Amino acid sequence: MALAGGLLLSGCSFKTPAPKPLSSFSQDPALYLASSYALDQEREQALAKDYLTRHLSPWSSTAPRENRLSTFWGLRSAKSHPGYGENRLPNSKEWIERLEYEMNEEGYPSLLEPGIITQDTDARVMPTHKPRFYDFKKAGEGYPFDYWQNSYLFSGTPVLITHATRDREWFYVEASFVSGWVRSLAVARASSAFKGEVEGVLGWAIPLNDSIPLYDSQGEFLDRARLGKLYPIHALEGETLTLKVPKRGASGEAIWQESQVSRSDFAPFPLSFTPENGARLAAKLMGEKYGWGGMYGNRDCSAMVRDLVGSMGVWLPRNSAAQAKFQGGFVDLSALEPKEKESRILAEAIPWASLLYLKGHIMLYIGEHKGRAMVLHDAWGIRTEGSEGEGRLILGGVVITDLSVGEGVEGVKEKSLLLHRLEGFRNLLSPLEIKKP
C-alpha cells in the first residue's frame, strides 16, 4: 500500500469512464504457463525457515520496534490536516483532540506483551474505525482512500502488544510486517505455554482456497481460512488434518482450539515455488475486489502479492516500495524508454517470480503473451484526464493485464500507462537457483 495522492493506481474520480473490457486478456492464470521450474529442496526449506522465523519474531521481541515518532505520526498529521469523515464534512478539531487524549502518547510504551490476532481485523493508523479522507474534490484523495486504514491482519498473526488507549478498547501491535492499532477484542495475550505448543507441532498448513470455514468439534464456527494464513498442524490421520486455531479466552488470554479439515483443502507449508502453483493460487484470487489497505477484508496490490508468494515460502514486507527494494536486487529501468523497459523484463524477469514496481503499485510478472509482458495485479484504476478533470479508469480488483492496459481509452494519456510509469523490477529468485525439467 502507498499514499493515494496523485498516484497512478489510486483515485476517486469526478467522472469514471467505462473500463476497456478485460476480455482481450484471458483471466485464467493457467493459460500463461509457458515453462516450468522448481527450487531445490534445500533452498525451499531455507526460505520457509526464514519465513517462519520472521512470522514468529514478535514473540521474541524485548522492546518495541517502533519509536514514538513512527507510532504517533498519524496524530501529528491529523492535527495539521484533520481531513474529512464518512459524511464528507471536515473532521473536527475537538474529535482529533479526544483521540489524542485516548492515545496517551506520553505513556508510550505502556505494554510489552506477546500476543496473537484471534480474528481478522483492520490495523489502523489511529484508534478508531472512523475514516480520514484527505479531500473529496481531488481524484485519489476521497473514497475509498482512508488514510487511517494502514493494513489488515489475519487471525493467527503473532504480534507484540506495545500500547493501549486509556479506555483499553484499542491496542497498538507490531506484527513482523506491519504495525497499527487494533481492537483489543481481536487480539489475545500469548503465554509461554501457549507459545510453547507451536514448537511441538507436526508442521504448518496453508489454505488452497480463499474462503474455507473452520469449525470446532461441536460445529461452532472458529475462523475462515484464507490464502496467506498459516495454521499449526496438530494431527494428521488419513485424509483429515487437525489444525490449531487461536482464539481469545474470557480473560483475554490466547487459547488453542482444534478444527478438523480435509487434506484436499490445505497443503503443507511451504507450497513448492513453481509457476504451476503460482497460477493455482492466483486462480483463487481472480476477480477479488480491490481493498485499500485491506479495507472490507479485501486485498490491495502489495497484500495480494504478499499472500500469494508467502504461501510458497517467500516472506515480503507490507508496502509496494519495500517489497520492490527488500534485500536488494532491484533493477532500475526508470531511465529507459517504454519499449526498452518491456524488452528488459521479457529478457531478464522470471515468470511468477519477479515483482514489477512503479510508484504506489506492485505487480507479479507472469510471462510473455504475444510479445507483451503480462502481469497479475490488484489495481484500483488507471489515471484519466479530461475536460471535467482527473478521473480513473477503474480496474477494481485482481486482474491479469499487459503493461499497456487502458491504451486507446479516451482520457488515458501515454504517461499514465503502467509501462510508462514503470520504475523497475526485482527477481524473488535467482536464475541460478531454479531448476528446469
Q: What is the mean pLDDT of the chain?
A: 93
What mean pLDDT is predicted for residues 102-130? 98
Q: What is the pLDDT of residues 246-277, one digit of tens each?
A: 999 999 999 999 999 999 999 999 999 999 99
User: What is the arithmetic mean of pLDDT over 392-415?
Assistant: 92
Beta-carbon count within 10 A of 343 CB: 14
Quickly tell me which residue has 486509556 as its cell.
166
pLDDT band for position 388 (cuts 50, 70, 90): confident
- Lowest average pLDDT, out of 20-34, 342-356, 405-419, goes to 20-34
Residue 23 has pLDDT above 70, yes or no: no
Could you give the percent of the chain with pLDDT greater than 70? Answer: 95
| Residue carrying C-alpha cell 498459516 | 230
**Predicted local confidence at residue 390, as pLDDT:** 85
Q: Which of 48-62, 257-271, 351-365, 384-398 has the lowest mean pLDDT?
A: 384-398
Average pLDDT for 210-230:
98
Check: CB of residue 310 under 8 Å from CB of residue 51: yes
Left if phi > 0, otherwise alpha if psi is -120 to 50, otherwise beta: which for 424?
A: left
Residues 322-348 have pLDDT tens digits of 999 999 999 999 999 999 999 999 999
Residue entry with cell 496490490: 301
**Position 395 pLDDT exceeds 50:** yes
Mean pLDDT of 376-400: 90
Which grid cell is 361?
503499485
Q: Is the pLDDT of residue 5 over 80?
A: no
Is residue 423 within 8 Å of residue 333, measured between CB atoms? yes
Q: In 3D, which of 276, 191, 200 has the Cα closest to residue 232?
A: 200
pLDDT at 399 over 60: yes
Mean pLDDT of 97-124: 98
Cell of 337: 524508454
**Nearest CA to 147 among 321, 303, 292, 305?**
292
pLDDT at 118 > cutoff 50: yes
Strand-pairing partners, residue 204, are 232
pTM for this structure?
0.93
Q: Which residues contact 397 (CB under 8 A, 6 or more apart)?
A: 287, 288, 289, 290, 298, 378, 379
For 189-215, what is the mean pLDDT?
96
Q: For 59-107, what is each residue's pLDDT tens digit?
A: 999 999 999 999 999 999 999 999 999 999 999 999 999 999 999 999 9
